[in-house]
Chains A and B, each alone.
Chain A
C-alpha cells in the first residue's frame, strides 16, 4: 500500500465547477504540500499545511491531522487550472526534516 494515496487519479470538469482532490497518508508527518505541474512544465508549490486550512485566490487546502487526510478545492474552475496536482507529505526523522513522499498525482482537465 502506498504511503500517500490521492483520489481521483483523473478528473474532468466543466469550467466553473467546484473541484475537490483528496489525499490520504499513512505515516507521521510534519507538513503536507500541494504541488501543481502543468503539462511539460515544472513543479510549483501551492500550499504547505501543518494544520487547519489555507486559501490562495480560488484554491483552498485543508488538512485533518487526526484523520491523516487533506483536500484541495478549486472554486470556479477555469481551463488554466488544467494540470496535475500532487500531494506530498514531509516525514519526520528523529525531529529532523525528513524527505518528501509523493502521491501519484491527480490529472485535472477543465473544459471550456
Chain B
C-alpha cells in the first residue's frame, strides 16, 4: 500500500493563478480531509469528505474548492491564489470512526 500520496511536493504560484493539489489513498477510506499548517498555528481543516460525492467545508474553506468523484481521489483546487494561501498543505484519510489517521507527505505552496 502506498498510503496517502500528494503531488506536487513544492509549488510556487503567482497571485491570481489557479492550481490543483492532488491527493490519493489506496486504503478504501471513506473519510478524507485537507488541512493547512501555518507557523504558530495548529493544523486547520479546509474541506473534508465522508465518501464519494459528499464534501463539506471545514474551518478555513474560503478560496478553495474540492470534489470527490471516487473513493481514492480528493483534489484541492485553489481558484485564484493569494499570498495568504502560502502554507504547507496536508491531505489525510482515516479508517472508520477515525481510529487510524494517515497523512500525506505535504505540499509546500508559496504564492508570490
- By a beta-carbon cutoff of 8 Å, the part of chain A in contact with chain B is 2, 4, 30-31, 33, 35, 41-45, 48, 86, 88, 90, 96-105
Contacts and interface: CB of A to CB of B under 8 A. Distances in A.
Interface in B68-105: 90, 92, 94, 96-105
A104 B41 contact: yes
Contacts of B103: 35, 42-45
Nearest to A44: B103
Contacts of A43: 90, 92, 103, 106
B106 A86 contact: no
Contacts, number: 61
Contacts of B104: 42
A100 to B, nearest CB: 7
B25 interface: no
9 contacts: A31-B97, A35-B103, A43-B103, A45-B101, A48-B101, A88-B43, A96-B50, A97-B97, A99-B33
A105 B41 CA distance: 8
